[in-house]
Amino acid sequence: MAFHLDFGKKGEEIAAAFLERAGYTLLHHNWKAQRWEIDLIARHHNLLVFVEVKTRTASQFAWPESAVHHKKRQHLEAAAELFLDTFPEPYADIRFDIIAITFTDAAQYELLHFEDAF
């Protein structure tokens, strides 16, 4: 597997563990709909949360969360709509979050959780 795929998978595993420790229930990991994918889908109380995980190294110039641009947001919203059509359970509300992970070295990282990011 390519380095960037392993790297991204590691970030998603860290994000999933973070959410579980924070009381979220993970429902899906890498849920695919047509040509789109949602990294993590979780329930937090009666809230359905769609999470985009971005992982970078400290040597890269842009912050990880800046990679969730307008077109990516549109794709996530479209995928979320398909998810809700596929699993029509009652949720009080939905939310889109970003988890940004920046590795400072092989074992150290900084994690930022942007709730209701868009």
Q: How far is CA 39 from the centre of its chain?
A: 5
What letter does residue 23 receive in the DSSP assignment? T
Strands of 25-33's sheet, edge to edge?
A: 25-33, 36-44, 47-57, 93-103, 109-114
| pLDDT tens profile 26-71 | 999 999 988 899 999 999 999 999 999 999 887 666 666 777 778 8
Q: How many domains does the chain have?
A: 1
Which tens digit of pLDDT belongs to each residue from 65-93? 777 778 888 999 999 999 999 998 888 89
Whichever domain contains 12, its CATH number is 3.40.1350.10
Range of the domain at 56: 3-114
